[in-house]
């Protein structure tokens, strides 16, 4: 089946819907609920990344080292990105030159502090898939906060 093109009016409607949803979440939910909703929204992206990692290495990653290797290979070989995860003991860091969210790149969403919580959920889900202990994600810098780049630190217990 051939790819179907979406009309510019339909894209504009989708963009407005996403914007309205993000504003409604902030207006109607407390801070913890807002974070929970947006973090949950990031989990499907983590699942897609894990599937891509499984294709790259022949199986899903089972350790942090395998996860970082597979995601770095995916970033370089499949996406043509230079930014790589770096590990320092029980922490991993990723610095991006800009917002890498596919919704933002497609023009469907705008970077903002609420939207950036989705990335927190995505990284929590990625690392939780290979860790038995706690996983904590910190947004150090983000385009959604007005910064020129996005930088994340993940603290984990294997």
Region 129-151: what's the mean pLDDT?
96
Looking at domain 8-156, its CATH superfamily turns out to be Trafficking protein particle complex subunit 3 (3.30.1380.20)
Q: Domain extents for the chain?
A: 8-156
Q: pTM of the prediction?
A: 0.91
Q: What is the pLDDT of residues 43-82, one digit of tens each?
A: 999 999 999 999 999 999 999 999 999 999 999 999 999 9
- Of all helices (H) and strands (E), which one includes residue 13? helix 8-28
**Structural Rg of the chain based on CA atoms:** 16
């Amino acid at each position: 089946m051939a790819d179907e093109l979406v009309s510019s009016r339909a894209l504009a409607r989708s963009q407005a819907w996403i914007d309205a949803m993000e504003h409604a979440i902030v207006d109607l939910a407390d801070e913890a609920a807002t974070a929970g909703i947006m973090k949950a929204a990031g989990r499907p992206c983590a699942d897609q990344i894990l599937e891509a990692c499984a294709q790259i290495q022949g199986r899903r990653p089972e350790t942090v080292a395998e996860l970082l290797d597979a995601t770095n290979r995916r970033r370089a070989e499949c996406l043509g990105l230079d930014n790589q995860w770096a590990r320092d003991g029980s922490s991993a860091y990723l610095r991006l030159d800009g917002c890498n969210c596919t919704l933002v790149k497609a023009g469907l969403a705008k970077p903002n502090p609420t939207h950036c919580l989705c990335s927190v959920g995505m990284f929590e889900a990625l690392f939780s898939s290979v860790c038995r202990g706690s996983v904590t994600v910190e947004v150090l810098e983000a385009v959604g906060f007005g910064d020129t780049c996005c930088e994340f630190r993940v603290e984990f217990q294997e």
